[in-house]
């Protein structure tokens, strides 16, 4: 039986970056070059597993950050902001975060480590 390999020498650096957020170091490449196809496939599969695990953890953190920001917006409204738009402006001012017209809220979402879809919140609030 012939084993089918799915790893790619051309994409291993990209997969490593997707899994761990940075390109592999020289030591990784030395191990990769010395490995036979079975070992390369094992390394590839492990990186995919790491990427999936890390993506789930990152999604959880982003969801928690969104909840914290929405609670902060509500609390700011209780402190005197007349609406959520004003509350968001006050929060950005307090955190020294610039308005984000160039990226339509994407930069602010990144600053607060929120899912990209939340950029709409900042655009609607008039700060992006």
DSSP letters for 47-77: HHHHHHHHHHHHHHHHHHHHHHHHHHHHHHH
Helix (H) and strand (E) counts for the chain? Answer: 6, 0
- Using alpha carbons, list the distances in angstroms from residue 82 to 76, 95, 96, 125: 9, 19, 21, 13
Q: 95 falls in which pLDDT band (50, 70, 90)?
A: very high
Mean pLDDT computed over every residue of the chain: 95
Could you give the percent of the chain with pLDDT greater than 90? 95
pTM of the model: 0.78
Residue 61: both structure tokens together = 């953190």
Other residues' Cβ atoms within 10 Å of the Cβ of residue 18:
15
Confidence of residue 97 (pLDDT cuts 50, 70, 90): very high
Looking at residues 24-40, what average pLDDT do you find?
Answer: 96
Average pLDDT estimate for 39-56 = 97
Nearest to 51 by CA among 84, 28, 17: 17
């Amino acid at each position: 039986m012939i084993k089918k390999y799915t790893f790619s020498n051309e994409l291993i650096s990209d997969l490593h970056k997707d899994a761990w957020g940075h390109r592999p170091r020289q030591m990784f490449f030395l191990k990769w070059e010395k490995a036979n196809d079975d070992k390369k496939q094992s390394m590839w599969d492990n990186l995919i597993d790491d990427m999936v695990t890390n993506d789930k953890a990152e999604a959880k953190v982003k969801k928690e950050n969104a909840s914290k920001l929405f609670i902060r917006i509500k609390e700011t409204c209780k402190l005197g902001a007349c609406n959520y738009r004003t509350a968001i402006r006050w929060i950005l001012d307090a955190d020294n975060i610039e308005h984000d017209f160039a990226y339509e809220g994407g930069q602010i979402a990144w600053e607060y480590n929120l899912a990209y879809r939340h950029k709409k919140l900042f655009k609607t609030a008039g700060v992006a």
